[in-house]
Amino acid sequence: MDPRALSTGIVHFGVGAFHRAHQAVYTEDAAAATGDPRWGILGVTGRSARVAEQLGPQDGLYSVLTKARDSESLRLIGSLRKVAFPAVDSAEVLRALASEDVHVASLTITEKGYPRTLSGELDTSNPGVAADIEALKAELAGRSFAGPARTPLGLLARGLARRYAGSGSPFAVLCCDNLMSNGKVTRDLVHAVAGAARAEDMLEWLRKSVTFPSSMVDRIVPATTEANRRAAERILGVRDDGLVVAEPFGQWVIEDNFLGPRPAWERAGAILTDDVGPFEVAKLRMLNATHSLLAYLGALHGHQTIAGAVADDALLNEARNLQRNDVIPTLNAPPGLDLHEYGESILARFANPNLGHTTIQVAMDGSQKLPVRILGTVADRLAAGEVPYSAAMMLAGWMVFIYRGRDVNGKPLALDDPMADILRETAAGSEAGLADRLLGLKAIFPEKVSANAEFRGALAARVRRLLSDVT
Ligand code: NAI
Ligand code: CS2
């Protein structure tokens, strides 16, 4: 379908690589299958204008370089019609969220884009959240535009307030981040922003007219490199600054909970279901936890890529043990899914040498990722009276990654994490006390995990062994 025929029907927060290689592709395919022109996307960047600057001169057009093991293909995508940068375009985003032509907002703002306290509540001490709550109060009081938003959830809440004050028509907010029950997480935070602004009437409307479906999202999309752009330029004949790179595999399982219209994503291969939960848990625990194990152990052993880590038999064995011994016993398989075959299919995807997904990229934001990916498994196994030794190995990898900051060859390993300073400070000290010191971080480890003596012992033993392996 000619992208110029598309009207904007979706606002997406977090126009990173993954959105462009996953939801935007599904949305384009749905439009092509149905001829429905209503689903152009207004993308909203996060903290920099870079993507807006990359795509603006290209009319929002960009390409996806799909890299299979021994072949690659390039595809032009036109569903992303414009990219807004909140620092200058918040008013436009607010108008779009209030528009009767727009029916869905979606998000890929990373695990750290959902500011919560230890107990999972909205973190109102976050300066951006606090500023957005004040802006919402001002706008609800009928005062004029309260200036640029500071957080995606704040901008979204302000836009929903505009919708409530205007048409009040039904709306859906679709989270596409790697979080468990990601729709509920998003709903609770957006409701909390409205509650903090004492917007009781708006809250009532939110409960009745705005749904927050959860979704399980899957496609490995590494950060784009200059080498990728040069390869694409040789095929395209022009440089595409908005290029994204991805594996051939993709999956999207969406909770069918929409009060208003939505793209016919099922016509593009998405699965609409009443119960996303089993798909979410299986994917986050089987794929993402194994990814993190290979990232930390792989990086420490000098492997630049996930594919390199999977090619290391000892690490491949650790990955299989994690899936088979610790994760699978905690899962209720989604209908028709053989979990052992699923685990092997994941490892085969990781082994794609053409993708170039780096261990250091997967290793980032561990403080935000580990609670979602591995600590549920640990808690479930301990509750079943078992010690999850492979999960302990994965956590030992993360701890030694922080503590050593270098790989087996002495190459520095960057710690890219919103809690980096706290992690470094906590890790500093004796090797013997490393596991206990990091286990003491209540922002990451729940009591039921950190207080278990057997698990502490297993973790400390693996930290010791790993330190001697890589030192
Ligand atoms: P990216 O780095 O290309 O884009 C991240 C987006 O989130 C950017 O728009 C950025 O501005 C925004 N962002 C980052 N930190 C933020 C914060 N603290 N607050 C608000 N916005 C913030 O990353 P990519 O590859 O697009 O992945 C984004 C998310 O998509 C992941 O964190 C994950 O939840 C999900 N995902 C990614 C997959 C992948 O293979 N890359 C696969 C499956 C899910
Ligand atoms: C990866 C995920 O970077 C990471 O943390 O584990 O982005 C992974 O590539 C996706 O979840 C695959 O669907």
Per residue in 334-393, pLDDT (tens digit) is: 989 999 999 999 999 999 999 999 999 999 999 999 999 999 999 999 999 999 999 999
Count CB atoms within 10 A of the CB of residue 92: 16
What pLDDT does 146 receive? 84
Q: What is the 177 CA–ligand 2 centroid distance (Å)?
A: 10
Angle at 139 between CA 137 and CA 141, to 5 degrees: 70
Listed in sequence order, the DSSP H helices in 141-269 are 152-165, 182-196, 200-209, 226-236
3-state secondary structure of 412: strand
What angle, rounded to 10 degrees, do the helices at 289-300 and 366-373 form?
130
| CB of 18 closer than 6 angstroms to any ligand 1 atom | yes
Quick check: CB of 152 below 6 Å from ligand 1?
A: yes
Angle (CA) 393 395 398, round 5°: 115
Question: How many residues are given for the chain?
Answer: 471
Tokens of 167: 């048409």
Number of neighbouring beta carbons within 10 Å of residue 2: 7
Q: Which contiguous run of DSSP H or E holds residue 395?
A: helix 389-404
Compute the distance from residue 370 Cα to the ligand 2 centre, in Å: 12
Strands (E), 315-355: none
pLDDT value, residue 328 = 98
Q: Which atom of ligand 1 is nearest to the CA of 20?
A: 26
pLDDT at 144: 78
Q: Which atom of ligand 1 is nearest to the CA of 13?
A: 9
CB of 182 closer than 6 angstroms to any ligand 1 atom: no
DSSP state of 305: B
Nearest CA to ligand 2 atom 9: 220
How many Å from the N-terminal Cα to the C-terminal Cα in the chain?
57
- What are the structural domains of the chain? 3-273 (3.40.50.720), 277-470 (1.10.1040.10)
Q: How far apart are CA 455 and CA 302, in angstroms?
A: 27
Q: Which ligand is nearest to the CA of 177?
A: 1
Mutational pocket test of ligand 1: of 110, 153, 178, 221, the residue with most ligand atoms within 8 Å of the beta carbon: 110
Q: Is the CB of 218 under 6 A from ligand 2?
A: yes
Strand partners, 51: none
Q: Strand, coil or helix: what is 107? A: strand
pLDDT averaged over the chain? 96
Which residue has its alpha carbon closest to ligand 2 atom 8?
Answer: 220
Q: Is 359 in the pocket of ligand 2 (CB under 6 A)?
A: no
Summarize pLDDT for 258-276 with one digit per residue, the tens.
Answer: 999 999 999 999 999 999 9
CA of 288 relative to ligand 2 center, distance in Å? 6
Q: Inform me whether the pLDDT recorded for 214 exceeds 90.
A: yes
**39 Cα to the center of ligand 1, angstroms:** 22
How far does residue 81's CA lie from ligand 1's centre (Å)? 19
Single out the residue of 270, 278, 275, 236 nearest to residue 253, CA to CA: 270
DSSP state of 327: I
Relative to the alpha carbon of 359, which ligand is closest? Answer: 2
- In the predicted model, what is the mean pLDDT of residues 174-181? 97
Confidence label for 4 from pLDDT (cuts 50, 70 and 90): confident
Question: Which residue has the least CA distance to atom 32 on ligand 1?
Answer: 110
pLDDT in tens, 307-332: 999 999 999 999 999 999 999 999 99
Q: How far is the CA of 57 from the centre of ligand 2 (A)?
A: 29
For residue 279, give the H/E element and its range: helix 277-282
Nearest CA to ligand 1 atom 13: 109
Does the CB atom of residue 22 touch ligand 2 within 6 A?
no
Query: Sheet containing 62-67: which strands, arranged edge to edge?
Result: 72-77, 62-67, 244-246
Q: For residue 228, what are the contacts with CB-CB under 8 A and spacing of at least 6?
A: 65, 243, 245, 356
pLDDT at residue 335, as a whole number: 87
What number of CA atoms fall less than 13 Å from residue 54's CA on the CB side?
Answer: 22
Please report which confidence band the pLDDT of residue 46 belongs to, taking 50, 70 and 90 as the band edges: confident
Which atom of ligand 2 has the smallest separation from the CA of 365?
5
Global pTM?
0.97
Give tens-digit pLDDT for 223-259.
999 999 999 999 999 999 999 999 999 999 999 999 9
Encoded tokens for 141: 């009081």
Looking at residue 262, its pLDDT comes to 98
Distance between Cα 222 and ligand 2 center (Å): 8
